[in-house]
Structures are given as structure tokens and as C-alpha cells.
Amino acid sequence: MSKVLFIKASPLPNEVSRSSQVAATFIDEYKAKNPSDTVEELVLYNTEVPLLDLELMTAGRELQAGKAFTDLAPDVQKRLNAYNALTEQFLAADKYVFVFPLWNLGIPPLLKAYVDTFVIAGKSFRYTEHGPEALLKGKKAILIHGSGGIYSAGPTSSFTHGEPYLRTILQFIGIDVVPSIFVEGIDHNPSKEAEIVAAAKAVAHESAAEF
């Protein structure tokens, strides 16, 4: 039995977000094929995702120097607890499904803040004399990525820092990232929206059966 963490990184409701609609198809098919697995949904825009800022970095250094957690300010303790809870939730999963849009050729800022909660030295990777070593080997992820233009291939593929970044950072910590599902090009061809979404859902259906 596997634990699947379904991470939604769009503030839009499913009826508006085409990539979220495709992700719902993937999750429904996965549950049908793997009824004994558990799927936990994490909607980032409905979640407190603490920003890794000066306050948290200072608290981390103080704890490493021997300061007791209870001696930190109450609001800092609350933020660290929320941060650590996201870390532990991520580490406890076996598989990951990310659905996210392309914003200004990158990922949404809240998704980047979330990445910082699980890409942590000593938890998901470690430094060695031979370089960084991944600690989450044996886990698997799939990315479901929406964009108005087409960036998965062709002349604009080098412009995007969305799907390539998330794929790279997950591989850095040892996670096997299977082929992504792209929901793209609708802003270029609005008349083909239904066709594009249907094609992506068909890919999601097939991918879920093998995930």
C-alpha cells in the first residue's frame, strides 16, 4: 500500500483550472486502479506555507546552536511547527502528484515556498565529500502542468522554467519523475480548448494506470 500526496498549486477552482480538471481525472483513475492506496490532497493556496525568511533562518541557527525550541517567540514556534509539518508530510509519502500552472515562465511563488519545506539538507538530501546525495530514492512523482502557450517542445521550450525546474529539484532529492502531462496551448487556440483538455485527460487516464 502506497501513500500518495496530491499537491495542487493553483488558486483557481477546478471548474476554471484546466490542469486541475486533468489532475482530477488522473486521481480518479489512480484510485480505481489502486483502491488500497491512500491519497492525501494538499491545496497550497488553502494552506499556511511559511516563507523561508530571516526569522525562520535565524531561528534555525539558534536551534542548531543549542537554544531550546520553547525559548523561541510563540509566533516563531507556530511558524516552525507549520513548516516542519509540511516537511514530515512530504517525507512520509511514497508518490507525489503535482498540478501547477506556468506563471511568467516559472512556477507560482507559493509552490516555490513549498519546495523549500522539503528540499532540506539532512532530510531529503545530504552533503558528502563527493557532492550532494539524494535521500528519497525509490519514490515517484508525476507533474501535471498547465500553460496558455506551448512550452513542452518547439522553439519556446527553452523559455520555460516551470516544469523543468520542478522536475530537476525532485530528481535532485532522488525522486523518479515519470513523463509529465501538459495541458497547453489553449490561449493560442481557444476554439480547441475542449480538444486539448480531452487529449490531456486521455494521457492522464493512461498514466494513472501505470503510476
Which DSSP symbol is given to 38? E
Q: Which residues are annotated as a binding site?
A: 10, 17-19
Cell numbers standing for residue 201 = 485527460
Cite the annotated binding site for FMN by residue number: 10, 17-19
DSSP state, residue 34: -
Q: Which of 118, 117, 134 is nearest to 126 (CA)?
A: 134
Please, are residues 160 and 151 in contact by the beta-carbon 8 Å criterion? yes
Q: How far apart are the first and last CA of the chain?
A: 13
Distance CA 61, CA 66 (A): 9
Give the span between the Cα atoms of 138 and 18, in whole angstroms. Answer: 30
Per-position DSSP letters for 43-65, written without gaps between them: EGGGS------HHHHHHHHHHHT
Question: What backbone phi and psi angles, to 5 degrees, belong to 125?
Answer: -155, 165
Task: Tell me which H or E stretch contains 6.
Answer: strand 3-8
The cell for 63 is 536551534
Residue type, 113: A
